[in-house]
Structure 1
Amino acid sequence: MLNQPIHIAQNQENASSTCYLIRNWMRWAIFFFLMASLLGLLLRYFFVGGAVLLEYKNVLHAHSHIALLGWGFLLISGTLVFSLVKEKARLKTYKNILTALVIVNLGMLLSFPFQGYGLYSITFSTIHLIIGYVFTYQIFQDLRGIQKGTARYLIRYALIWMLVSSIGLWAIGPIATTLGRLHPLYFLSVQWFLHFQLNGWFMFALLGILALMLERKGWAIPFNGIKLWLLQGSLWLSLALAISWSYNYPILLYINALGVILQAIAYTYILHPFIAAAFPTLSIPSGWVNKVLYFGILSVIAKALIQLALIFPEVASISYTIRMFVIGFIHLLLLGSATFALGANALKNNILPNGPWSKWGWLTLIVGFLFSELLLFGQGTLIWAKLGFIPHYHLLLFLSSILFPIGLLMILTDSLLNKHLPMNERKMKNNVITQISINNQTMKKTIIMSLGALVFLMASCGGGGESSQGTYTPPAAQKEKAADPKGIGEIRTVDLGDGIDEVMANKGKAIVDMKCTACHQLNDKRVVGPGFEGITNKRRPEWIMNMITNVDVMLDEDPVAQALFEECLVRMPNQNISIGDSRDILEFLRKNDFERTGSKDAAVK
């Protein structure tokens, strides 16, 4: 009996330590989510107002790394620590891991926007990879503490797929050194990482955490070995779509079709008992936290349904050639599925605040997510159907993206105010108030400094001018001299005629609006691809038309196209534009150059 008060006190101390560690963990996760959203907003601004100081691709790399390794990794890892770790001695290990993760993420945040892939950014990324290995080893130890079942199986394989995904990152350096950054294996290594990160590590962890939530409430998830291996098989088979980005073999699309069918079956087995238990009437539940969880589950279902549409090879082929579909799907998985489902789990367990500020913050996130997804998938569908562009599409996408940092600032503010503690925590608050105050002050200072850095990045936006192209020096200048100025393809002569043919130029503008302005601007600013301004003064008309109609061969064999590819690192998709349509596009580009620069066709004079 004398030991009972000591045992209770120890349990209370462990619970308090767990709570404060995880709350701090989640605050940092939200903070890096905020940074990723500001970088994403800057990416949207490139299409609205351009940029002077920063390279688009550098900001893109910063956004993707902070979103995946800052927000995504911290959200999932923090949830796993909260769900599996209770001993105070073990919490010290995870506290050190969190400290290391925060440092390397801050390093990536402050290096990627300015140098892209450089010494410091690569160093921080590599250290993050090693920390991920340490975290995986530690979680494997704590995973033994839960009973065997669906949740344990899914979480274990989520960790395995995280390790498997890292193979792609380790392969990038040797491939780039030996084969070059234009080799298909280089892009396959990137797609390998993204596939097993998003569809493996993120989705398996999400499903495992949801299953664990039900199992601890006494609800079983009946899922035998055959069904589980259906899920594993679907992950490997759907890798075929990622491979098809690098190797254009039709059989890959059929392999992917089988994979997404198996995935739909496996998701049905997992999600059906969860939905039946958590939302028995299938109606929108009461309480805003339950609504956020419900929205997250709907996002998982939407993700599976969209992938199920890829059973048709025609749909699969456009899923990666239309950029809006690619971005929309990644956002659906990371923002819709992982963020809202796991975020609601954190809200239910009080490791994220659920006060008024937080409530309106999450609602703002949902509204911003819905509007941006409607714009991305809607515009992608219009391009597919050859129906043009949504009026003011880029401006609307920029405005919808503003809602993300607004919502996240509300959530982070609620977390830092720290007013929504459970009763047992309030009793112990006086004992640790000093340490909490120090932690909050430290984080507030870090947030202020990091926001200052992002404000500086945002301040670099605006204006135009020659400096808008950045400081990049095109590589392999000698290759361009040896290249055929007419490019590679069946177009060897082009009759330009006298002046501008307005009818042809108008037809060309309509095609450019539908298929080109997602990646290219009409001025000289490089965004995803180079700006169109001045192209007829730098390239012969035959080269331009061959690049439009014979893009795959040009990227593989033409030195000038390869230099541009190496500069942008985004492969221009083959949109099957006819020779006649390419001639109309050329006429529009001639008109664009004449209106903007006062000259055209200088490359043939």
Structure 2
Amino acid sequence: MPKKLVIVCLINFLIAAVMGLVLRYSSIGDIGLNYRFLTHAHSHVAMLGWVYLMLYTLIVHYFIPDKKPIYNRLFWVTEFAVVGMMLSFPIQGYAAFSISFSTLHIFCSYYFVYLIWTHNKTESIVTSILLKASLFFMLLSTFGVWCLGPAVSMLGQASAFYQIAIQFFLHFQFNGWFLIAIITVFFHLLKIKDSKLFRQFFSVLVASTVFTFALPIQWFAPHNVLLWINSIGVVLQLAALFTFIKLIRTKLYTLIDKKSKLIVCIYSFAMFCFVLKVVFQLVSILPEFSQVVYEHRNFVIGFIHLLMLGVITGFLFAFILQSKLVNYFKTLYIGVYCFILGFVLTETALLVQGCNYYFGYEILPNYYLLLFLFSLLLPLGILFILLNLFKK
């Protein structure tokens, strides 16, 4: 795996983490920037500069044997789009320049899908099916973006149409493209064979991904039918988790056997977060709780970070650690443990305060200061991992 490209992805992640830290500081002091604009920059750089480009690098590395120059050029054009969003969003939010760079990124992703669909060569039916499914969901998610313009012009940003379009993009990016692409690489490393169990897992996973989109629709266009559809999706997701564990149980022991304790730790962390994600979504079957999640921002941010930082980043870190790009020096251990500790502390603070809001209790003493201090550990951890890569 090209070390230079991994470093670029991690630098993007570090910048996104610093932006997140500034957002946390805004609750205790003046940051001199528009909070909403910076939030857009933070989310776009984290999703498209870190996760998207890291998955790009992994997919090309593992599934494209003939690595033509076009893949390297496309990576840098996509990175140019990310840098453009990184600089324009904090200044102007959604406006001419930021929208132009976002559009460029979407077209780069379309070309990436075309290249991978055309050139991918894998002997495994399992990874072929999963890879194409993840790319399909990436394409599908962008329909939400194309609906934003008509939604604003016809009904405005406060409309259900506009909000559902945003949720459509986010849902199928996170739960479709990102998560299934992660599983693709994971199953490739585990050498999972085609079987009836895998086919069941894949069918249930795709169905649950589609059905659970009913919950964000329910937030903006309430209907009892949507709650039932989400409930079916959540139950299917639980079934997918059980089949997932069955598929990987014996293979995972082989993968981590005689590996560093750090690799075992990061895989355990990612797997635990994956299980926790499914458990939290299972609770959304209760109508009262599903509405509470939307109304209390702590729960929303906590869940997004659970998926983004816990599950997706947890697995991405594990893949990097297995790639032989790192040295097992103190910097790597400090980096990984700092990141995990920062994640656990911030998620705990968000959850506890969210529960306090729900039950009508007072805010935690020094809550915003503690959240900022805990958040310091996240960019610090990424920085140490980067330093380790530079030393190799």
How far apart are the structure 2 equivalents of 1:133 and 1:71? 18
Corresponding position of 1:202: 178
Corresponding position of 1:95: 72
Corresponding position of 2:209: 235
* CA positional deviation for 1:272: 2.8
1:163 maps to a residue whose letter is L
Aligned to 2:362, what secondary structure does the other structure show? coil
Unaligned runs of 5+ in 1: 1-18, 420-605
Matches within 5 A, 1:348-497: 348-351=322-325, 354-417=328-391, 419=392
2:316 counterpart (317, 325, 342): 342
Distance 1:354 1:110, change over 3 A: farther
Contact 2:201 2:244 in 1 (8 A): no
Matches within 5 A, 1:115-264: 115-143=92-120, 145-215=121-191, 223-264=197-238
Aligned to 2:174, what secondary structure does the other structure show? helix
* CA positional deviation for 1:221: 6.4
State the TM-score, normalized to the length of structure 2. 0.95
1:357 maps to a residue whose letter is T
How far apart are the structure 1 equivalents of 2:269 and 2:314? 7
Distance 1:395 1:207, change over 3 A: same
How far apart are the structure 1 equivalents of 2:291 and 2:195? 35
1:55 aligns with 2:34: yes
How far apart are the structure 2 equivalents of 1:164 and 1:353? 39
Render the CA deviation track for 1:100-141: whole Å, top value 9, x for unaligned.
122111111111111111111111011001101111111112
How far apart are the structure 2 equivalents of 1:193 and 1:396? 32
1:23 maps to a residue whose letter is K
Distance 1:102 1:75, change over 3 A: same
Distance 1:407 1:102, change over 3 A: same
2:179 maps to a residue whose letter is M
Corresponding position of 1:3: none
How far apart are the structure 2 equivalents of 1:276 and 1:299? 20
* CA positional deviation for 1:254: 2.1
1:184 maps to a residue whose letter is A
How far apart are the structure 2 equivalents of 1:256 and 1:383? 25
Distance 1:328 1:270, change over 3 A: same
Corresponding position of 2:279: 305
2:17 maps to a residue whose letter is S
- RMSD of aligned C-alpha atoms? 1.9
Corresponding position of 1:274: 248
Contact 2:197 2:247 in 1 (8 A): no
State the TM-score, normalized to the length of structure 1. 0.62
How far apart are the structure 2 equivalents of 1:184 and 1:352? 47
Q: Percent identity?
A: 33
Unaligned runs of 5+ in 2: none
1:49 maps to a residue whose letter is G
Which structure has the greater CA radius of gyration?
Answer: 1
How far apart are the structure 1 equivalents of 2:169 and 2:7? 27
2:46 counterpart (64, 67, 73): 67
How far apart are the structure 1 equivalents of 2:377 and 2:54? 20
* CA positional deviation for 1:359: 2.2
Aligned to 2:26, what secondary structure does the other structure show? helix
Aligned to 2:220, what secondary structure does the other structure show? coil
How far apart are the structure 2 equivalents of 1:375 and 1:67? 21
Render the CA deviation track for 1:1-27: whole Å, top value 9, x for unaligned.
xxxxxxxxxxxxxxxxxx4xx211111
How far apart are the structure 2 equivalents of 1:25 and 1:253? 43
Render the CA deviation track for 1:47-90: whole Å, top value 9, x for unaligned.
11133x31110011110110111111112111111111232xx3
1:170 maps to a residue whose letter is W
2:125 maps to a residue whose letter is G
Corresponding position of 1:25: 5
Aligned to 2:210, what secondary structure does the other structure show? helix
Q: Which has the higher helix share?
A: 2
Distance 1:137 1:355, change over 3 A: farther
Corresponding position of 1:79: 58
Render the CA deviation track for 1:517-550: whole Å, top value 9, x for unaligned.
xxxxxxxxxxxxxxxxxxxxxxxxxxxxxxxxxx
2:176 maps to a residue whose letter is G
How far apart are the structure 1 equivalents of 2:388 and 2:215? 42
Aligned length: 390
How far apart are the structure 2 equivalents of 1:235 and 1:167? 16
How far apart are the structure 1 equivalents of 2:327 and 2:228? 46
Render the CA deviation track for 1:287-314: whole Å, top value 9, x for unaligned.
1122111211111111111111112122
Corresponding position of 2:89: 112
Contact 1:23 1:352 in 2 (8 A): no
